[in-house]
Every structure is written in structure tokens, then in C-alpha cells.
Structure 1
Amino acid sequence: MTGDSLGESSRSITHPHHEQHSSSVDSFVDNGKGKGKSKDNENGETHPMVDFTAGVIAGAAGLIVGQPFDVVKVRYQTPQYAGKYSSTFSALGAIVKEEKVKGLFKGVTSPMAGIAFINGIVFTSYSLFMKQQIPPESLHEPSLYQIFLAGAGSGVVAATLTCPIELIKIREQSAPPHVNTSTIGVLKHVIRTDGIRGLFRGFQATAIRDLAYGPYFFTYEGMIRLFKYMKTPPLPENTRKHEGHTLIDEAEMELSSGLTWPELMTAGGIAGVVAWMATFPIDVFKTRIQSAPWTTTSDLPAPSSSSKLNMTLRKPSLWKVANTAIKEEGWRVMFAGLGPTLIR
């Protein structure tokens, strides 16, 4: 993903498709308000909510481990830090020297608080988009193309939440070393200066970047199927009704598929690299849009300026930011921060 987060927080999602047995849902409901064990639980299977909780905890752990590299990535992408760091690890050392260890974890609060909600949005929207493509009576696995579309769609939907979360995170991470920030403080400042709409600055860029859920899910599932095919004899595809089309049973399905942990981790690693490479330039421009303050009305050149000009000055567009960055800094700016991102 994810990412931040496909994005940072938004990329802390479990891997692609796999469906949930309808009997699990039915028995869960029959037990009344979710209490008691379901029939699937009695057969030794993990309840979907346990899977979801485990995924959130795993995502939070991954977020904490990768946060220092995310801070470095944002610094590389932010113009005011241009040329300050010579390498990823020199940047880590410089941040610790200037801002102590806590500087490596700037901005971690907002994605940590939102990770469960983002997981829920991705799980639900992915299931919805898959149901639109596959009839309930289908006995075959979805095609890679269908997985791609469902993943891309879920990323765009999730952007409604990842956009404000990452805006707050980026504002904290790009603040000067001597400025103490907090998630609540940044939130109040954005609303006070730009209104609620200020929280959604960079939404277009966020939605385009999170289309990367498509190539992520596509690549992951493609690698899984390739590894199965390479076995001797090849492992069979999963054949069962695709009634749920959710991501929630994926871990159990994969661990019982005959593939090894190294194969699963390799598939996930390759998928992550492909997803980031697919939309990384957009992530760079998104960071620039969200880290730079809007021009306020009082900063405009003259009262006689046209309203169209005022709006252009107050709201930097993705195209304008991208065009300016490439013109002034060259094409390499589109991959600023790629190193620490791939390490993370």
C-alpha cells in the first residue's frame, strides 16, 4: 500500500482478495449481537472479527517500524528540506541529532488512529466492487483484471479518509525541527485557517495515488498464482462460491494453500514495490500540495484581481504543482524519497 499508506496508513492493509464463508456471517448473527462462538469457530476457524483485529494490530506494528523512513521520505519530498540530507541513513542520523528520537516518529498519531477505519473502508469497498463483477453463483476465482478493478476502486474510496489523515501527518513531519507540533494542534490550525475543506486539500492527488491498490492486489495475486503453478505438481486454484468477496479470510487461505512463508512474503514485497512505482510521482506532488500552506485572501496581490485568479492562487492544483516542480528541479523530483519508501 499504503504507506502513506497504499499511502502510509492506507497501505497497512492485509493482502488481496479471498472471500468470507457466508455461514460464518450467518452463524455470527444468529448468536445474537455477536456473542458466543459461531459454527466456523467450533470447527477451529478464526472468527472474521479476530482476523480484522489481528490485521489492525499488525498494521499498527508495521506503521511504527516504518515511521522513521516515512519521515525521511516526506522530508525528501518537501521543498524546504531539499538538499539537506545526502542519504536515507544520514537523514535518520540528522533527525535524531536535531530532534531526538521522537523526531523519527513525527506524525504517527493520525495514521495510527485511522488505521482501523481505513481497513474497514478498504474491506467493505473491495467486497462491493467484487460483487458488482462476479455473480454469487460463481465457482471460480476472480480474474486478475477483476482484482485490479476492485483494488483500484477501494483505494479511491479509502482516499476520503486517507487524505485528511495524511495531510495532518505531513504537516507534522514537514514542520521545522524547532517547532513542536501535535495532531490536535495541526487539526485545529488547518480548520481555523482553511476551514473543513482544508483537510481535503490534495484529495485528487490522494485518490490517483491510491489507485495503486489495483496494481498491488493484481501483482500479489499474480505472484501467488505463479508460485502455485511452479509447484510440482501445480497446486489447484481455489474453487468455491464467491459469496463474500472479502479480504478477511486471506491469511488462513494462503497458509493452507501449500505456499511457504518466504513465498508469501516475496509476493507481498514485490507487490508493494510495483504499487509504489506505479504512482510514486503522484505521491511526491501530493506531499507538496499538502505541506505548503494556502495563500490566504489577505495575501492576494490586489483587491481588483479577478475571482478566478484568487481561486488559482489559493488552491494549488496537482497539474500546477507537478509542472512547476519538474520545470524547476528536473524529472528526478518525481522520485524524491523513493529510497526510504522502498526500504520501509
Structure 2
Amino acid sequence: MTGDSLGESSRSVIHSEVGSIGSDNGKGKGKSNGNGNTHPVVDFTAGVIAGAAGLIVGQPFDVVKVRYQTPQYAGRYSSTFSALGSIVKEEKVKGLFKGVTSPMINGVVFTSYSFFMKLQLPPDSIHEPSLGQIFLAGAGSGVVGAMLTCPIELIKIREQSAPPHVNTSTLGVVKHIVKVDGLRGLFRGFQATAMRDLAYGPYFCTYEAMLRFFKYMKTPPLPENTHRHEGHTLIDEAEMELSSGLTWTELMTAGGIAGVTAWLATFPLDVFKTRLQSASWPESRTNPASEGVKVKPPGLWKVATTAVRQEGWRVMFAGLGPTLIR
């Protein structure tokens, strides 16, 4: 999810990375101890690589999603793929990659997930964590990641929602935000971002639940080692998945269902967050009717109620199509 929920492409990259750095017994040389506790640097690096892979594949659809969610583009595109064609026609291919976000977001999520999981489990635990523990670790990692996600997505959304004839740059957007709203302006929409990124909880929980369901349905039963864990970082879990006996089809299916579940649970928040962050609100500095009096920009509740009242409940799912395709 970065704006965006962690996709199955990220999990696939983790699997390949684990395979490339693993030794004969599947453990990375020099990167984990005897108990399977992966070094935080490995978690962070795998997350960054996974995030970069997801960006390459999903960025054009993210641009389309933001356009659907931004009021000034309402009704402009008839479908996801017509939107892609129009963007290329008007802004060339580079228009599909406006506002590329940092893959470091996934690195932070991976590292914080491991931290929250270790808080809940004894250091020497070899048992599978409960789905509730996985949910809490995922939700916690999303909130921590929002500290980095919020300013990055704010800048990305400002770039992606700019009119086609306006040439924007990351530095130019940052300067404008700081000039109008100060440094605190970079964290506009933090509440909505943190609430939306709680979706990492249902994502990781659903993913693990699907894997356990597939294991349960196997005939004959899977080997006993598929129920034993040595460490509870995402790298450790990826190692277990690779040796669990599940097929790539089952792993991809689990990831796809988890991604759809996570987005459906929080997508309205993503729409309102985009609207909150896409408007520059120059009037927020002073009130023309009252010289020198600052006006507080609208909050999440105000943006949400105004959008639903003016455009109906369907506005809460604007851009869902390109998001699920991504």
C-alpha cells in the first residue's frame, strides 16, 4: 500500500531476495542469529527493494487513482485505460511517473513490523503468532510508516494533481508548501494517512490467514516444520513460506486477496486524504475579510462530509478500479 498498501509484488521480491542470500539451510550468512532473528538492516533493505519493484509496476495506476480522486479531474476520464492513454497523449510517458514515491516507506514498514512482533512474543518463541498479533504488528507498522508516508505522499499528490500544462518538480512543490503553510504543512493529512495505513493490519492478517487455510486444505498434510517459526520478521516469514510446500499460485492468491481486503477496509480514507492533501488552500494564511487573521484549513471530517454531500456516497470509492489493478 503506499499511498499505498503493500502489494504481493513486494512479497515476491522478498522471496527472491531470501533465496539469493540464503545458505543451505535457508538462513542468510551473517545476517541472522541462530534463532532466526533477521538483522534490521536486512529487513529494511528487502523492504526498499520490494518497494522499488512495486513502484515500477504500479506507479502509472497510482497516477490515475489520484486523478480520479481529485475534484478538478472529475468526469474527465471514462475508464482506467482511457485515462492512461490521455495522460500519455497530453503529458508523454513521463506523465505516468509523476510523483514517484520513495521505496524507503516499505523499508520502514518492514522494520517496524518486526519491532512490534517482537514486543508481543518471547525471544525464544518457535510457535506461529496468532492472527491477532499479526494484525496488531501490521497496524502498528502502518502508523509508524505514516510519519514518512505523509509528507512523501503530500508532495506526490501535489505533483500528480497538477494541470497537464504545469511543469512541477519535487523541490518546487516542497518550497511552495513550506512558503504557504510552513514546515508543519508537510504533515497535512497525517491523521488520515495514519488511519488509512492501519490497513497493514488487515493486509498481513488476511495474507497469513489465507496461507494457513491453504496449508490446512493440503492432502497429505504439510510437513511439521511448516508450523514452526524461527524468528518473526517478514524475512523469516518469507523463508518459512518458501519451504512450506505452498505453490507460487497459492502465495500470489493470498497476496491478492489480502490486498483487496486491505484497500476495501480503508479506501474511503484514502480518497479523503487525497482531497485533503491536493488542495493548496492559499486562503489558509489570512482571511481576506479579516486582515491578518489566520484561517484554519478544513480537516478530515469537513472534507469527507462535504464530498459525500455534494457528490454522493460513490465518491468514497473514486479510483478503486486502478488501485485494485495495481
- TM-score, normalised relative to structure 2: 0.86
For the structure 1 residues 331 and 129, does the alpha-carbon distance in structure 2 shift closer, same or farther, using more than 3 Å as the test? same
Of 259, 264, 269 in structure 2, the residue corresponding to residue 282 of structure 1 is 269
Q: Is 1:337 the counterpart of 2:316 in the alignment?
A: no
Alignment of 1:9-48 (within 5 A): 14=11, 38=30
- Cα drift, residue 252 of structure 1: 2.4
Number of residue equivalences: 308
Per the alignment, residue 300 of structure 2 pairs with 318
Q: Distance in 1 between matches of 2:310 and 2:322?
A: 23
Q: Distance in 1 between matches of 2:2 and 2:111?
A: 20
- Superposed CA offset, 1:279-303 (max 9, x none): 0000000000000012435651422
Alignment of 1:180-195 (within 5 A): 180-195=167-182
2:265 aligned partner, one-letter code: A
Q: Is this contact kept in 2: 1:136–1:241, CA < 8 A? A: no
> Which stretch shows the higher mean deviation, 320-329 or 296-305?
296-305
Per the alignment, residue 226 of structure 1 pairs with 213
Q: Is this contact kept in 1: 2:6–2:106, CA < 8 A? A: no
Per the alignment, residue 132 of structure 1 pairs with 119
- Cα drift, residue 3 of structure 1: 3.3
Q: Is 1:269 the counterpart of 2:269 in the alignment?
A: no
Describe the SS at the equivalent of 1:140: coil
- Cα drift, residue 120 of structure 1: 3.3
Per the alignment, residue 25 of structure 2 pairs with none
Per the alignment, residue 115 of structure 1 pairs with 103
Per the alignment, residue 145 of structure 1 pairs with 132
Per the alignment, residue 33 of structure 1 pairs with none
1:67 aligned partner, one-letter code: Q
Per the alignment, residue 161 of structure 2 pairs with 174
1:238 aligned partner, one-letter code: H
Q: Distance in 1 between matches of 2:284 and 2:120?
A: 47
Describe the SS at the equivalent of 2:234: coil
1:289 aligned partner, one-letter code: L
Q: Any stretches of 5+ residues in structure 1 without a counterpart? A: 19-23, 25-35
Of 33, 57, 67 in structure 1, the residue corresponding to residue 59 of structure 2 is 67
- Cα drift, residue 39 of structure 1: 8.5
Describe the SS at the equivalent of 1:207: helix
1:322 aligned partner, one-letter code: A
For the structure 1 residues 228 and 66, does the alpha-carbon distance in structure 2 shift closer, same or farther, using more than 3 Å as the test? same
Q: Is this contact kept in 1: 2:47–2:103, CA < 8 A? A: no
Q: Distance in 2 between matches of 1:172 and 1:225?
A: 41
Kindly, what percent of the aligned residue pairs are identical? Answer: 76
For the structure 1 residues 37 and 151, does the alpha-carbon distance in structure 2 shift closer, same or farther, using more than 3 Å as the test? closer
Per the alignment, residue 148 of structure 2 pairs with 161
C-alpha RMSD of matched pairs (Å): 2.8
1:101 aligned partner, one-letter code: V
Q: Distance in 2 between matches of 1:226 and 1:297?
A: 51
- Superposed CA offset, 1:28-87 (max 9, x none): xxxxxxxx953979xxxx988567535423321221221111111000000000011111
For the structure 1 residues 293 and 39, does the alpha-carbon distance in structure 2 shift closer, same or farther, using more than 3 Å as the test? closer
For the structure 1 residues 183 and 197, does the alpha-carbon distance in structure 2 shift closer, same or farther, using more than 3 Å as the test? same
Per the alignment, residue 287 of structure 2 pairs with 300
2:72 aligned partner, one-letter code: Q
